[in-house]
Amino acid sequence: MDRFNATTKKLTSATIQTAFKTKYLFFTGKGGVGKTSIASGTAVTLAAAGKRVLLISTDPASNLDETLGIKLTNHPKPVPGVPGLMALNIDPDVAAEEYRQRVVAPMIGKATDEEISGLREQLSGACTVEIAAFDEFAALLADEGVARDFDTIIFDTAPTGHTIRLLSLPKAWTGFFDINERGASCLGPHSALKNQESRFAAAFDALKDPDRTTVVLVARPELSTLNEAARTSSDLLELQLTNQILVVNGVFLATGKNDRLAQSLEKKSTAALDKVPQSIQRLPRYIVPLKPFNTVGLAALKNLLEDTPASELPIGVAEKSQGVKATFSLAALAKDLAHDEHGLVLVMGKGGVGKTTVAAALAVAVAKFGKPVHLTTTDPAAHLAQTIVGTLPNLTVSRIDPKEESRLYTEKILASKGKNLDVDGLALLREDLASPCTEEVAVFHAFAKTVFEARRGIVILDTAPTGHTLLLLDAAGSYHREMLKKMEESAPGKLTTPLMMLQDSTQSKVLLVALAETTPVSEAAALQDDLRRASIEPYGWVVNRSLAASSTTDPVLMQRAANEHEQLERILNGLATRVAILPLMPDEPVGIELLDQLLALEWK
């Protein structure tokens, strides 16, 4: 690693004490960069040094349980084998129900059953889930309750777009309180919100205090994740979160000179570190070398930030098994879509598994069959245009921009509902539309419009990382129930909702994208269970960036490739009947030519 020492330090048990001095540590970054691994490794290291540490996941699709090897709840739980370390998951559904109970409780005995039922219905949407989880997060930042018992509180956050939304809420809701003195938001009566005002203000103060809060921007040695870190840094500066550190995870050095894939990975690592965006060059920078093992379990976490030679690590290597093979191809799916001339494909999965690449490659293939295809995304942090790079006949690329959709939705509501209101009524409507909930509603309406577009043409939708997408699907479910209630008397059997479209396998196909690693496969399996509870059956799985499907001879990469086979067999022997496997390419599949080549290299 000497060649990197001129501009960086290794993040190790020795340097971690000086790198992270504040009570609150936020680990954020693009999906798949290893936030949970780095956050967990940091927590284990600090606890071993004698600190009382609380590790918290704010990700709606948390995999902290699997990383630590214990079942977590909304309340702190000791981590066996690590004295001084406790952990919890902020479970959005549990938090939402507790929030509803707190809001409804003062009305019991004072309001009718119908009024209470109406309030509970009002509090059933995705926005309530979001703010309830945030309320627990804010209490910790406000140093209430259990927060006082710890020296360090570490937040393992959701992928960037969702996290920026979370960290902006203290400021957004504080501003909403200032302008809305009489109405009600989607969270219930304004009086219920006013009770949280001081907590939110205290949370905002803690976030912007550099002596209390450090934001750790985690990236891979890839330009896309470093550029994402730069954008995140800028967004956080606007929110007055100034104390930031950059950690580059998975820095790789090749062992030999004859492995093109290994040489390419090292070259990309070096080039990326040489081209760290100027806006974050000023930040303290630390690196974590690529390890030959998956960072799941305490043995791996204890070794993550150590320089232990691979030969001395107590991590087993799975034997390479025979007979692992794909059972369908994306190229064949593209041909089927082109033949049908309409249909929706949702590409879903954990952040960082390559959903955008898979969606873009599939869209390019459809377009090359000569059929018009619309490629779009619901991911707040997605940049499809940077993956496509260029234009192709029959291919239209767009994104659902939360800010723009919120603006358009606000204008639409003011033009319709505000048309005949008096001055006071219009002012009250504007106040309600200033609520941060408006953005969630606006994005759902744009999502619904995109879903219905697939009845007339081919639409490929690159979704946000799992947790954010589940909130969107929850909104689809709420809308579905509301529409059924309204239509059951006036026009039974005539209704089609977005949820019904997603449930219809003749119109919609869901592809679950994963890496052949423990956590991404487990998260994809959990997502599949969630989808099935909503009567949505996934069409198939795509295993992306597979080393087992490559021909690497590098010792570290070969060990990681061998470890993949256990997960590939796990998928093929019970999780999915259709599995496509895409190899890790020496050149990142950016641009139409390489996206086209990726499907030609599918592992048969």
Catalytic machinery residues? 32, 34-37, 59, 519
Place of tokens 């969702």: 162
CA-to-CA separations, 391 to 97, 360, 375, 401, 591, in angstroms, rounded: 47, 12, 12, 21, 9
Helix ranges (H only) for 208-285 are 223-238, 260-274, 278-281
507 by DSSP, 3-state: which? coil
Asked whether the beta carbons of 301 and 40 are under 8 A apart, the reply is yes
Relative to beta strand 540-546, strand 508-514 is parallel
Query: In DSSP terms, which residues pair with 86 in a beta bridge?
Result: 54, 78
Q: How far is residue 42's CA from residue 65's CA, in Å, rounded to a whole number?
A: 16
Distance CA 104, CA 116 (A): 7
**Could you tell me which of 587, 591, 590, 583 has the C-alpha nearest to residue 544?**
583
Tokens of 449: 């419009």
Name the percent of the chain in helix, strand, coil, to the closest 5: 50, 15, 35
Q: Are 156 and 62 in contact (CB under 8 A)?
A: yes
CA 157 to chain centroid, in Å, comes to: 9
Q: Three-class SS of residue 55?
A: strand
How far is Cα 238 from Cα 186, in angstroms, rounded to an integer?
A: 26
DSSP three-state, residue 452: helix
Location of structure tokens 């190899």: 583
CA 277/CA 288 separation, integer angstroms: 19
Decide if 364 contacts 596 (C-beta within 8 A).
yes
Angle at alpha carbon of residue 92, lines to 87 and 98, rounded to 5°: 95
Nearest to 342 by CA among 504, 462, 189: 504
Is 272:221 a contact under the CB 8 Å cutoff?
Answer: yes
Judge whether 174 and 201 are in contact, CB under 8 Å. yes
Query: Helical H runs in 491-578?
Result: 498-503, 518-533, 555-570
Secondary structure element (H or E) that encloses residue 188, with its range? strand 188-189
Q: Give dist(CA 360, CA 353) in Å, integer.
A: 14
- What is the SS3 assignment for 438? helix
CA 230 from chain centre, in angstroms, equals 18
β-bridge partners, 42: none
Give me the residues paired with residue 459 across strands.
344, 374
From 194, 285, 370, select the one nearest 8 (Cα to Cα): 285
